[in-house]
Amino acid sequence: MSINGRMRREEIILGLDLAGSPQNMSGYAELNLLNHTITWGAIYEDNEILNLVRKLKPIILAIDAPLSLPRRGYMRDVDRLMHKLHFPVLPPRFRGMEMLTRRAMMLVSKFPKDIEIIEVHPTSTLRALEQRYRVRGLHEIFKMLALSPLKDSFNRHERDAILSAITGYFFYMERSLIVLGVEGEIVLPW
């Protein structure tokens, strides 16, 4: 395939379940839009994450971490909106979350500017898909989306990264609900 005479790069959506510390495991999931496959793995250090993003050049990077801090207090307006929609999220200034939020903000500032970055919440993604499409678990979601997984098993961080990538897929397909506040936005599949 070519666009404007150039070979089209593989279109990748990358899901990232970011840990608060580089010493702890982060999960990532790579969803390839051209061959409808998805694979995943574990990653730790900031440089590993930055190198992965530069190598894959995703069109969408869906991050399971708050990407902003509240102006006042411990909760952003978007977090309150999520709670009103019955999608409880942990606020960025909640114990342990501030370190995660600051790491996410630092990494986002270093990612290439041509990548669309969205904030997601995998638990809310799973709940939204269960309610809207009556699917249970990742294997049913893979089947519904005609995705071929390239692995058989996953840990909880990889699972959340997979759900993040799936949220990115719904966003790409313009089938998402964007919960928008002044202090941030969170994307849900719809």
Band of residue 3 on the pLDDT scale cut at 50, 70, 90: very low
pLDDT at residue 95, rounded to an integer = 81
pLDDT in tens, 21-50: 999 999 999 999 999 999 999 999 999 999
Tell me what percent of the residues of the chain surpass a pLDDT of 90.
92
Q: What is the pTM of this model?
A: 0.93
For residues 118 and 187, the answer to whether their CB atoms sit within 8 Å is yes
pLDDT at residue 96, rounded to an integer = 85
**What's the whole-number mean pLDDT along residues 177-186?**
97
Higher per-residue pLDDT: 2 or 157: 157
Three-state DSSP class for residue 75: coil
Band of residue 9 on the pLDDT scale cut at 50, 70, 90: low
Q: Can you list the pairs that 153-158 forms with residues at least 24 positions away whose Cβ atoms lie under 8 Å?
A: 154/27, 154/40, 155/25, 155/27, 155/42, 156/27, 157/17, 157/19, 157/25, 157/26, 157/27, 157/42, 158/17, 158/27, 158/28, 158/29, 158/40, 158/41, 158/42
**What's the whole-number mean pLDDT along residues 40-68?**
98
Alpha-carbon distance 47 to 52, whole Å?
8
Domain 2-189 falls under CATH 3.40.50.12280? no
**Residue at 148: amino acid letter:** S
pLDDT at residue 131, rounded to an integer = 94
pLDDT in tens, 78-123: 999 999 999 999 999 988 899 999 999 999 999 999 999 999 999 9
For residues 149 and 43, the answer to whether their CB atoms sit within 8 Å is no
What residues does each domain of the chain span?
2-189
